[in-house]
Amino acid sequence: MLVVVICVGLLYALPNIYGEDPAIQISGSRGAEVTVATQDKVKKLLDDNQINAKSLVFENNSILIRVGDNDTQLKAKELIATMLGENYVVALNLAPATPAWLSVLGAEPMKLGLDLRGGVHFLMEVDMTTALNKLVDQSVENLKVELTNSKLPYSSIAKEGNQQIALQFSNTDERNMALTKIKGLQDFKLVSQANNSFIVTISEQRLQQAKTDAVQQNTTILRNRVNQLGVAEPIVQRQGADRIVVELPGIQDTALAKRILGATATLEFRQVNEEGSANLAAIVNGQSRVPYGSEIQYMTNGRPVLLYKRTVLTGDHITDSSFRANEYGQPEVSITLDNAGGKTMLDFTQKNLKKPMATLFVEYKDSGKQDESGKPILEKHEEVINVATIQGIFSDRFQVTGISNIDEAKNLSLLLRAGALIAPIQIIEERTVGPSMGQENITQGLESCVWGLLVSVIFMLLMYRLFGLFASLALVANLILIVGAMSLLPGATLSMPGIAGIVLTVGMAVDANVLINERIKEELSNGRNVQLAISEGYAGAWSSIFDANLTTLITAVILYAVGTGSIKGFAITLGIGIVTSMFTSIVGTRALANLVYGGRRVNKLSI
């Protein structure tokens, strides 16, 4: 059993000695898709420029190119980025150099944290002001619809201040009827009232829900965007009320990472104002006013479209999207919504059958200016990417038609499926760890492990002779099992605190053998024969070893449960080290003792 366990541990620890290759990751960005044709173009480009690639693999809608050194990596990246243009993401990366036969067995190297592998760390802040303003604007439109559906007349409903809405009526009776209706809505709270008007604000519960939704939705979309960069073990997690931490180990192109993650965009489904569109030319030329509650937006080709300001649905309700040519040969995009989105769309389509609906793409870009607090000021850019007619009543599944060609349908499907940020985000903190610094940390960590191991081995050899050798061999086996287990666990990432956990485990691992060896000495001094002293030594020390390691293991579990980031990394290696050290210190050394002293008469122990 001991031999089998150590061999399996050695097998899965082996990939860590092969290191990583400089690599280039190619994936599609907005409206673009990586295909076999893209692979052929890239391969021809590399051949024409006499760049020798170790491998070029096309899988999971991306291309991974391995090269021999960093200079070749940089040269190839520049050439490929120039050829493919801005519609593709060409990122510098590091790819494991594990042999194919080990990969077939599922053996992969340990996932290294940012401090060991190098990469970038971003602290992002969600722009809650924009998110809440968007909520208030939506609430104004919702109140108009609610009162209209209830046949309650009003003079005007408009935003007032930051989160307040003013409602004006013709007389007191109309005001009182509307007030009774509004009080029944949980999302609003009465602030004040006058003769023919009153002011409401968004309830605190609804505001908190909007903030939580904004952070959660942005966190999910950021994870999807990170996949474009080909990062093996990214960390994308919420921090505090409105911040998100993104760590990208192995990423060397900081500017590209910022561009992909900071591309703040959202999708909105809006109804087209058909009545006002009859006078659209006069509105565009400034000869006529834009109808109340509407605005002009433009398509990619510059064609103006008159849309109602009220948003029917936002892109964060989309769960899936695909494209195809229907039975008439016309391109269409199939969209699947979540439950909430399905209910909203069902209600809207029942009332607006055969009317046009537009898909609006909204993007926030860095203006290059900063506000008083030093944060970048974002500029809003909007574009209508599709206008289609509602052909039938639908809810969570529907098709968008009226698309000019199949390529446009493909691009629209990709854009919808990629997801959109519910509120703008800003990078407020950025840290970069270079590969050389990461390698330096690894070297220092290995040196600390080696020195810890050497000191423990020397101590055990001097104190316990042959049984000290057994303990030293058990220490080496323990390290192999820790590395093998860390490589096997999918969610485990090794960082500097994790290395500290391994070093601590090395020191703690000999405790069990010290207890065992001292107990054996005690039994020998009491006149026991050698075989009985060995048996009693292991049996007598077992309870103390188990209790001591169990309490430490419980501590490691608590650290993992309540800790974050580096604390979890420390807890993982500590917990794995406790389990493996108990196995090697007790089972391993007992097996070696039985191998040397078992089955024969012995008068003296080397202990």
CATH classification at residue 19: 3.30.70.260
Backbone phi, psi, residue 157, to 5°: -135, 120
Q: Domain end: 80, 108, 125, which one? A: 125
Radius of gyration of the chain (CA): 33
Is 299 found in the same domain as 362?
Answer: yes
* 457-514 confidence digits (pLDDT tens): 999 899 898 999 999 999 999 999 999 998 888 767 788 888 888 888 888 888 888 9
Reported as a pLDDT band with limits 50, 70 and 90, residue 231 is low
In a domain, 255, yes or no: no
In a domain, residue 247? The reply is no
| pLDDT value of residue 29 | 62
Complete DSSP assignment for 51-97: ---SEEEEETTEEEEE-SSHHHHHHHHHHHHHHH-TTEEEEEEEEE-
Q: From CA 31, how far away is CA 106, in angstroms rounded?
A: 34
- Whether 178 maps to a domain, the answer reads yes
Whole-model pTM?
0.60
List, for residues 346-377, the tens digit of each pLDDT value: 999 898 888 999 988 776 665 667 677 666 66
pLDDT at 576 over 90: yes
pLDDT, tens digit, for every residue of 288-343? 888 888 999 998 778 899 999 888 888 767 777 778 888 888 888 888 887 778 88
More confident residue, 267 or 596: 596
Contacts of 153 (CB under 8 A, 6+ apart): 147, 169, 170, 174
Q: Are 421 and 217 in contact (CB under 8 A)?
A: yes
In the listed set 108, 125, 142, which residue is the last one of a domain according to the structure? 125
| Residue 226 confidence (pLDDT) | 73
Q: Is residue 507 part of a domain?
A: yes
Do residues 389 and 467 share a domain?
no
Summarize the confidence of residues 205-229 as an average pLDDT.
Answer: 77
- In order, the DSSP letters of 260-318 are HHT-EEEEEEEEE-HHHHTTHHHHHTTSSPPPTTEEEEEBTTS-EEEEEEEEEEEGGGE
Shared domain for 331 and 350, answered yes or no, is yes
Q: Work out the percent of the chain whose per-residue pLDDT is above 70.
A: 88
CATH of the domain at 577: 1.20.1640.10
**Are residues 275 and 423 part of one domain?**
yes
Tell me which amino acid residue 233 is: E
**pLDDT score, position 31:** 52
93: which residues sit within 8 A by CB, 6+ positions away? Answer: 23, 24, 25, 64, 229, 230, 231, 250, 251, 252
Query: Shortest CA distance to 423 belongs to which of 229, 205, 242, 235?
Result: 242
Query: Would 604 be classed as within a structural domain?
Result: no
pLDDT digits (tens, 9 = 90+) for 119-148: 788 888 888 887 788 788 878 877 887 888
Q: What average pLDDT does the segment 186-195 reach?
A: 85
Domain count, the chain: 4
- pLDDT-based confidence at 412, cuts 50/70/90? low
Using CB atoms within 10 Å of the CB of residue 137, give its burial: 0 to 12 exposed, 13 to 18 middle, 19+ buried. Answer: middle
Does 603 score more than 90 pLDDT? no
Q: Do 459 and 566 belong together in one domain?
A: yes
Task: Report the chain's mean pLDDT, rounded to a whole number.
Answer: 83
Give the pLDDT of residue 239. Answer: 83
Which bin fits 329, alpha (ψ -120 to 50), beta or left (φ > 0)?
Answer: left
Beta pairing, strands 20-28 & 88-96 = antiparallel
22 and 8 in one domain?
A: yes
57, 191: one domain: no
Q: Are residues 188 and 270 in the same domain?
A: no
Tell whether 288 and 406 lie within a shared domain.
yes
Q: How is residue 203 written in tokens?
A: 């309830």
Phi, psi of 398 (to 5 degrees): -160, 170
Q: Do both 147 and 287 map to the same domain?
A: no
Would you say 432 and 120 are in contact if contact means Cβ atoms under 8 Å apart? yes
pLDDT tens per residue across span 246-292: 888 767 666 667 766 766 556 788 999 988 888 888 888 888 888 88
Residue 464 and residue 558 share a domain: yes
Q: Determine, yes or no, domain membership for 488.
A: yes
Q: Scan for tokens 């992909």, then name that residue.
A: 260
> 79-106: per-residue pLDDT in tens?
998 888 867 878 777 788 888 888 888 8
415 with 321, same domain? yes
**Listed residues 383, 407, 430: the one ending a domain:** 430
Is residue 257 assigned to a domain? no
CA atoms within 13 A on the CB side of 323: 21
Residue labelled with tokens 């389990």: 579
Does the pLDDT of residue 544 top 80, yes or no?
A: yes
The phi-psi region of residue 562 (left if phi > 0; otherwise alpha if psi is between -120 and 50; otherwise beta) is alpha
Which residues span the domain enclosing 158? 129-207
Q: Is residue 576 included in any domain, yes or no?
A: yes
Q: How far apart are CA 550 and CA 561, in angstroms?
A: 16
The CA distances from residue 110 to 116, 121, 195, 505, 570, in Å, are 11, 20, 71, 18, 15
Q: What is the pLDDT of residue 553?
A: 92
* CATH at 323: 3.30.1360.200
